[in-house]
Amino acid sequence: MDKNENTIKSIQLNTRFADNTDLTNPIWTIQPSINDIEAFKIKSLVLPISAYNIDTYNNKLKMIQNISGTTSANTITMTTQNYNSSNIGTYLTSALNSQGNLYMTATFQTASNKLCLASTTGTFYLTDTTNDVYETLGFTTSSSFVSTYTGGSCVDLSGVKVLNLQSNSLDGIDISGFNNRILGSIPIDEGVNSIASYQDDSADYIETNISNLSQISITLKDEKYREIVQRNHWSVVLNLKTG
């Protein structure tokens, strides 16, 4: 073989055989280790979509309410689970009223695919909070009290849209404003409770320069580079070009 000719090595990483039990942040030992890696790519991936459409990174709603001149702030933390158009309004109504004297109703409007919040006894507005659910529910924040508010955008319960495989092990793609590198971004067209399957048969590779690879860790991130709570085993195949 010509000394300048690359050798392609494939490694299959399955969370069932990882060194740890963290499905979102698995770590694998590479035995034997691989030397002189010049390029890599994600060859294939199989991943059950088990992250909920309302999860720990988008499950809070904060409301400022005025009832008879008394102003109060209430933060609602939604249960992490999958929601749909049939249950989102009922759940929100119950959750809002369980926080105190909110006297609120939440109604999903089928014709417009939007949510409407209404107060029967006072006025309110939505304000900023961490890990808010506003984009998912089509809401925006305000500072003006109203008795009824309909989201300006449609409810989006489709869940994760892009899967980013974050890893510094192979010195991958540097994303501006993101502290770590990624191996690649995979569009997710499937909905919740389905299986994402990806296959790359192209000749495209990402250049790198790794003298020795003995361990690799991967963290699953969504389209906003938020850590995904993965609840089922998954696997990925990496192709490595070595010198």
Given this model, what pLDDT does residue 48 score?
Answer: 95
Q: Give the phi and the psi of residue 225 in degrees, each rounded to 5.
A: 60, 35
Dist. CA 181–CA 210, nearest whole Å = 14
Given this model, what pLDDT does residue 173 score?
Answer: 82
Dist. CA 60–CA 39, nearest whole Å = 41
Judge whether residue 209 has pLDDT over 50.
yes
Task: Write the pLDDT tens digit of every residue in 136-185.
Answer: 999 999 999 999 999 999 999 999 999 999 998 998 887 766 667 899 99
Given this model, what pLDDT does residue 2 score?
Answer: 46
Task: Write the pLDDT tens digit of every residue in 36-47.
Answer: 999 999 999 999
Structural domains present in the chain: 7-51+159-242 (2.60.120.1100), 60-150 (no CATH)
Judge whether residue 4 has pLDDT over 60.
no
Contact indicator for 64, 124 with CB cutoff of 8 Å? yes
Given this model, what pLDDT does residue 1 score?
Answer: 41
Q: Please give the average per-residue pLDDT across 16-20, as a whole number.
A: 98
Judge whether residue 201 has pLDDT over 50.
yes
pTM: 0.85
Task: Write the pLDDT tens digit of every residue in 43-95.
Answer: 999 999 999 999 999 999 999 999 889 999 989 999 999 999 999 999 999 99
> For the chain, what is the mean pLDDT?
92
Given this model, what pLDDT does residue 193 score?
Answer: 81
Contact indicator for 75, 60 with CB cutoff of 8 Å? yes
Name 5's Cβ contacts closer than 8 Å, sequence gap at least 6. Answer: none
Given this model, what pLDDT does residue 243 score?
Answer: 86
